[in-house]
Amino acid sequence: MYVLTMDQKGSRRGGDLVGEGLRTFTALAGAGVARPFQRTAGDEIQAVLTEAASVVEVMLHAARDGRWSAGLGVGPVEQPMPEETRAGRGPAFEHARDAVTRAKRAPGGVACTAEHPDAEHVEAVLQLLAELDHRRTDSSQQAGELIAEGRTQTEVAEQLGVSQQAVSRALDRGLWHQTRRVASLAVQMLETMHEEVTA
């Protein structure tokens, strides 16, 4: 399983974002949820996911938002799983605890822990993607998200009220197509690692 533990940054200086985080991350995770995001303690939330694509989507959103540290633990969980996410046990939960602690000081605010030789490589790819997503301008992100929905550059240009050339430049500046390909690679790497650590 994939266990995601998210910790709000600077909660003592700002308001409690847990309610917003629960709604946002649950929506992003979609159907890939075994146990939903739930407050575990203070300003921390946790979920158990089944789909690597959902994991990557949530982690990159958290990185771009900039207000969360995201720790991913990959491995077995004790079965049967309790209904309450925070009552879960097993290596994946322990790894997520390690990962979120490291994520607070890691590039992009994300980290991944697993008992697998490729865990460090997966973490490096996720951190690179997180840094790129965090640094992308709003215009590049908006254009990319519309492209991801299946729109053409001409349709995106019409919706945003800019030229098609401006859309193309925004996508190029934000390395949108390159990062989407690398995100697909991250999903494949996670799926392979998950298969091997839970076999």
* Fold (CATH) for 2-117: Alpha-Beta Plaits (3.30.70)
Query: Alpha carbon 128 to chain centroid distance?
Result: 12
For residue 13, the model assigns a pLDDT of 65
Query: How confident is the prediction along the chain (199 residues), in pLDDT tens digits per residue?
Result: 999 999 998 766 667 888 888 899 999 888 889 999 999 988 899 999 999 999 999 999 999 998 999 999 999 999 999 999 989 999 999 999 999 999 999 999 999 999 999 999 999 999 999 999 888 999 999 999 999 999 999 999 999 999 999 999 999 999 999 999 999 999 999 999 999 999 8
* DSSP 8-state assignment for residue 50: S
CA-nearest of 36, 34, 58, 33 to 46 is 36
Q: pLDDT value at position 195? A: 96
* DSSP at 72: E
Q: pTM for the full model? A: 0.90
- Please state, in angstroms and rounded to a whole number, the distance separating the CA atoms of residues 108 and 113: 15
Residue with tokens 């997520």: 96
Cα distance between residue 112 and residue 103, in whole Å: 8
pLDDT at 47: 96
How far apart, in whole angstroms, are the C-alpha atoms of residue 191 and residue 189? 5
Question: Where are the domains positioned within the chain?
Answer: 2-117, 137-174
